[in-house]
Structure 1
Amino acid sequence: MCFSIFENDEEESDETQKCTEGGELDVVTLLLEVRLNNGEDLPVKDASGSSDPYVKFRYKDNIVYKSGTIFKNLNPSWDEEFQMIVDDVTCPIRLEVFDFDRFCTDDFMGAAEVDLSQVKWCTSTEFRVDLLDEVNQSAGKVTISVTITPMTQLEVQQFHQKATKGVLCVSEKKKEQRAHNTQDWEKLVNIVLVEGKGIRVDERIPDAFCKFKLGQEKYKSKVCSNIDPKWIEQFDLHVFDSADQMLQMACIDRNTNSIIGRLEIDLSSVPLDETLQHWYHLENGPDDSQILLLITVSGSQGAGETIETDEFNYNDIRNTRIQKYDVMNSFDDISDIGVLTVKLFCAEDLVAKDFGGKSDPFAVLELVNTRVQTNTIYKTLSPSWNKIYTFAVKDIHTCLQVTIFDEDPNNRFEFLGRVQIPLKSIRNCEKRWYGLKDEKLRKRVKGEVLLEMDVIWNPVRAAIRTFKPKERKYLSQEQKFKASTFKTYFGEIKDVVNVLASYKNQIEYLLSWHSRPKSLMAYVIFMLFVYYFEIFFIPLMILALFGYNFVKNKTSSRDEPRSTRSSLKGQKSEEEDEKTGTGIRDTLNSVQETLLSVQCYLHFATQLVQKIKNTFNFTDVWLSTLAVIVLSLAFLLLYFVPLRWIILIWGTNKFSKN
């Protein structure tokens, strides 16, 4: 509904008189009234084969009005009006039509201009303008009605009293749309766009991006120029209407704006609180074109079952699972390693992120690529969820990660805390408080979460799975260079090199016969070992090393905390480095020294590789010829003389030099 400055019939008659006697009145400016009627044959911009158009009006390069959005319609009917004051009718008013996207930049559809000088005063003039896109191609039509009315000084004052920023209009459709956008959702759909295969256009590699649409919400991915693009993007969409649960996706080439392929997924058939990982074939695309998606659907009341001790008898279910994953049933289903049950009770003393000293927390539980999300508890620092979640365990060496966020409007979430629990360290059916840490799991942050976990798994299947490649986690934190981490890792490698160097020095000491009894004993052991050596000695020696360390750990309880400290060496060094707050100059000097050492090692390795390469490609003819002769002699020697005797002769020669 639009407000007019003419509020009764008498004023309307005065308006008509004013138009006919405009020259005798004190006209100071003009009132422009625009009615946006409808659009026709607008271009398709969404994966669903439709668009969500709205119109921006510009006057003298300034946006003066923005219409409401009409969803899923290529022939929209807006029926909106607005009024504004214009001082120059020679300046046209420009219409720009866009396709609305909630989580990304809106797509330009077309534009046109209306010449206000062609409008007769006090007469409604209808314009049916042709829209042109970025390349001046036809993009449909828009119909508007324009009326220009002269205004006196008094009417200008009355207009400014009612107008907002020089424009007078209140659109009921906008109010309805705003109310619809803020309503509670029925389902939360978490989507991970991982990668694609066979994405091409006429055997050409496109600049491909994907557009998703669910109801009135949209998402647009980044552009990847590859036949097998890797997007790795995560986003959330919501289901507001249970009757509209069709997720639509289109893969588009940015260069030609052509659709490579489409995809539709009925979310009503996707089970709640389970992560669906699947390769989807693109319709109307190349035969081998596929998209890998991870889809998790959660209800508005949160995932999982509510913990009710009276009705939920967990012991019966647990006994059934123990029977299923018994060692005697190890070969029934090799890929089914086990099952993890998580009871999420509550959290306490969380960080306040909102005004008023409160937060709106919800929790996200992740096991590699499986992800579930709880409902949001509003305006509290001690939320209580009381939910049970079940995860299929694919690898016993993975970790459960529980992250708590604060929900904010416009789908912006703030991090509150995180805890990560290795599955092998879980104490079954033990209710326990876990302290929250920061995003990198290094420092303690405010808050605790109460969990009870139970993991039941088959050791035989887990052992077989251990020898297979680790499951790739698609969404992982981006690794960044850090001086302290680099220095720590380099120091650990340097320690190993130093240990090997000490062994080398010990061998050289024995070969030099500085201590005759030790050298003689080493020579006898070497001769006996080489003479009686068999290939099965190798795993036997490794087992002996395991046994030695096992006995050492059992008999020396004092070494246990020391080993724990050494395993956390990297982590503690980072924390100490952050606490000491060393200056930038000291940090740069330390990194420079470490990088110089790395450069020396790389220089040595590069030279060695280059020498080997030059030897094989006859860059140095003499060296290559010498290598051929030596290899030929080695072949003949190994053919006629057993390797055992060659090693004995070589060792005797080494020991007998001094």
Structure 2
Amino acid sequence: MGRCVLDISKYEKDKTHHVWAPLDKGAGSVFILLTISGITSSETISDLHSFDDNPNELKNISAKYVWTRTPQNLKDVGHLRVKVFRAQGLASADIGGKSDPFCVLEVGNDRLQTQTEYKTLSPSWNKIFTFNVKDIHSILEVTVFDEDRDHKVEFLGKISIPLLRIRNGEKKWHALKDKKLRLRAKGLNPEILLECTIYWNPVRAALRTFVPKEEKFMQVEQKFKRQVFIGNVNRLKACVMDLVEGGKFIKSCFEWEYPVRTSFAFIAFMVGTYCFEPYMIPIILLIVYLKNYIVLSIVGTMYHQKEEADFAVDDDELDDDEKDKEEKKSLKERLQAIQEVTATVQNAIGTIASLFESVNNTFNFSVPFLSWLLIIVLFVGTFVLYYIPIRYLVMLWGVNKFSRKLIRPHSVINNELLDFLSRVPDDETLWDCRELRMVAQLHDDKRRDNRRKKQS
């Protein structure tokens, strides 16, 4: 019916382009989503049985990311190597009580997969994967699927591992989770055996933190779901309640409900207002870090403690979308407009809640690298604001923002603060990456609880 030719050198890289390409001989046109990516990747797959683990090669890779070699290639943040050995306890997806599992590994937009092991619930893949790390704040996603004859796949389990949490050379069993990454996946305590090693340059990673985050090209369309909507509302409510409690505290200081507290607040306000200088703003934020660091040292964690039962969802609610398929098309058409609005509200509430949670997690050492990075920035900011008048800094900032497109036409207008916050995980991401305790460990905890009850 026709053909077309596109010159991909004219298109910007790592960006999805919406292209209407006319076909030759006037045969119409075709709509194309064009993305040019992976142009500098070094992703590979090897068989563990034939792989030569050369110590000299590891030394050379490690030497590439020494801080003294930082200026050589600023975009090359690190090198990740993942050994996928085997899995066990998977759920049976076939009629014969077996599955045909294969494993998919994703780091950002880089995606590799193992071969399929047929008719087994304990596959042994024995593969080694290497990834070129462009952002140290990326998450390694390992998903196990079942392959069917009609080339469709069925989900068997998944885990998410932030690259900053990887312990080099640690061979470890990871409990597979369900699609929502909250509970254990179906099967007989399914788990996967991995060994991860990562080498990275902290200076390059720090510089990369303050530029726009790479957008993931393969994204699932967000549809309205009642449970997601309720969950996002509860997340936003928790953040708003913190602000309300802070407002009540400030209000109580003005109303002299507690004379001692109000007296100290009055003295602090007067002294602070009289002595305030702009360089004190980073110092105030550093005090928040100090307070949370002391709490972290004493308590041992800053994570919100939640019970696994809180994430249990009724099976009937999970099947709402499938039940909707049985409704008439006319009803779907009438509800489509409502669904689009509610989905927008749902996602907006989730975005706001994520922003609040990311700001909170910035100061509680949820990601130590980011916390220490901001501590360094705050120290530098303190000295800069102390020695340079703020009006000159604002002028420099304005010159940079207005001249960026003139100097670098393809640069993206960004906000460094929001780019930094986009690397800070929200509470949902922290729970997605949380490791489930093994069954034996759960039994030991129950035995300890029973012993304590008997002793009491």
SS at match of 1:402: strand
The structural deviation recorded for 1:460 is 0.9
The structural deviation recorded for 1:306 is 1.6
Check if 1:444 corresponds to 2:187: no
Per the alignment, residue 314 of structure 2 pairs with: 578
Aligned-partner residue type, residue 268 of structure 2 = I
TM-score (norm 2): 0.59
Per the alignment, residue 45 of structure 2 pairs with: 304
Aligned-partner residue type, residue 311 of structure 2 = E
| Inter-partner Cα distance in structure 1 for 2:257 and 2:118 | 78
Per the alignment, residue 463 of structure 1 pairs with: 206
SS at match of 2:244: helix
Per the alignment, residue 243 of structure 1 pairs with: none
Give per-residue Cα distances to partners, 1:396-426, cap 9 Å, x unaligned. 1111112222222232222222222111111
Aligned-partner residue type, residue 295 of structure 2 = K
| Inter-partner Cα distance in structure 2 for 1:556 and 1:382 | 40
Per the alignment, residue 319 of structure 1 pairs with: 59
Check if 1:416 corresponds to 2:156: yes
| Inter-partner Cα distance in structure 2 for 1:493 and 1:578 | 23
Per the alignment, residue 478 of structure 1 pairs with: 221
| Inter-partner Cα distance in structure 2 for 1:427 and 1:412 | 35
TM-score (norm 1): 0.42
Q: CA RMSD in A?
A: 3.6
Per the alignment, residue 339 of structure 1 pairs with: 79
| Inter-partner Cα distance in structure 2 for 1:431 and 1:514 | 58
| Inter-partner Cα distance in structure 1 for 2:196 and 2:173 | 11
| Inter-partner Cα distance in structure 1 for 2:24 and 2:90 | 43
**What are the residue-to-residue correspondences of 1:526-545 with 2, within 5 Å?**
526-545=269-288
Per the alignment, residue 112 of structure 2 pairs with: 372
Alignment CA distance shift 1:339-1:572 (3 Å)? farther
The structural deviation recorded for 1:472 is 0.9
* 8 A contact 1:346–1:384 mirrored in 2: yes
| Inter-partner Cα distance in structure 1 for 2:99 and 2:250 | 65
Aligned-partner residue type, residue 486 of structure 1 = F
* 8 A contact 2:21–2:29 mirrored in 1: no
Give per-residue Cα distances to partners, 1:611-658, cap 9 Å, x unaligned. xxxxxxxxxxxxxxxxxxxxxxxxxxxxxxxxxxxxxxxxxxxxxxxx
Give per-residue Cα distances to partners, 1:68-124, cap 9 Å, x unaligned. xxxxxxxxxxxxxxxxxxxxxxxxxxxxxxxxxxxxxxxxxxxxxxxxxxxxxxxxx
Per the alignment, residue 297 of structure 2 pairs with: 554
The structural deviation recorded for 1:516 is 5.0
| Inter-partner Cα distance in structure 2 for 1:573 and 1:482 | 17
Check if 1:392 corresponds to 2:132: yes
| Inter-partner Cα distance in structure 1 for 2:259 and 2:30 | 79
Per the alignment, residue 650 of structure 1 pairs with: none
Alignment CA distance shift 1:475-1:525 (3 Å)? same
Question: Where do 5+ consecutive residues of structure 2 fail to align?
Answer: 6-13, 321-341, 350-456
Of the candidates 189, 193, 196, which is equivalent to residue 17 of structure 2?
196
Per the alignment, residue 428 of structure 1 pairs with: 168
Aligned-partner residue type, residue 45 of structure 2 = G
| Inter-partner Cα distance in structure 1 for 2:73 and 2:239 | 42
Q: With CA pairs under 8 Å and 6+ residues apart, which has the higher RCO, 1 or 2?
A: 2
Of the candidates 235, 258, 261, which is equivalent to residue 28 of structure 2?
258
> Higher helix share goes to which structure?
2
The structural deviation recorded for 1:579 is 8.0
Give per-residue Cα distances to partners, 1:435-472, cap 9 Å, x unaligned. 22223323312232211110111111111111122211
Alignment CA distance shift 1:358-1:458 (3 Å)? same
Question: Where do 5+ consecutive residues of structure 1 fail to align?
Answer: 1-43, 49-192, 202-250, 262-288, 297-302, 585-594, 603-658
* 8 A contact 1:341–1:388 mirrored in 2: yes
Give per-residue Cα distances to partners, 1:286-314, cap 9 Å, x unaligned. xxx99325689xxxxxx7222137x6124
Bigger Rg, which one: 1
The structural deviation recorded for 1:580 is 11
The structural deviation recorded for 1:328 is 1.4
**What are the residue-to-residue correspondences of 1:620-631 with 2, within 5 Å?**
none
SS at match of 1:405: strand
> Higher strand share goes to which structure?
1
Alignment CA distance shift 1:415-1:46 (3 Å)? farther
SS at match of 2:159: strand
| Inter-partner Cα distance in structure 2 for 1:458 and 1:399 | 17
| Inter-partner Cα distance in structure 2 for 1:411 and 1:515 | 69
Aligned-pair identity (%): 36
* 8 A contact 2:146–2:155 mirrored in 1: yes
| Inter-partner Cα distance in structure 1 for 2:21 and 2:2 | 20
Per the alignment, residue 412 of structure 2 pairs with: none
| Inter-partner Cα distance in structure 2 for 1:367 and 1:312 | 24
Alignment CA distance shift 1:383-1:536 (3 Å)? same
Alignment CA distance shift 1:464-1:552 (3 Å)? same
* 8 A contact 1:484–1:573 mirrored in 2: no
| Inter-partner Cα distance in structure 1 for 2:223 and 2:110 | 25
SS at match of 2:303: helix
Q: Would you say how many aligned residue pairs link Structure 1 and Structure 2?
A: 308
The structural deviation recorded for 1:197 is 4.3
| Inter-partner Cα distance in structure 1 for 2:203 and 2:18 | 35
Moved more, 495-504 or 529-538: 495-504
* 8 A contact 1:339–1:391 mirrored in 2: yes
Aligned-partner residue type, residue 314 of structure 2 = E
Aligned-partner residue type, residue 285 of structure 2 = I
SS at match of 1:473: coil
SS at match of 2:216: coil
| Inter-partner Cα distance in structure 1 for 2:193 and 2:59 | 24
Give per-residue Cα distances to partners, 1:463-502, cap 9 Å, x unaligned. 1111122211111233333334333332333333333333
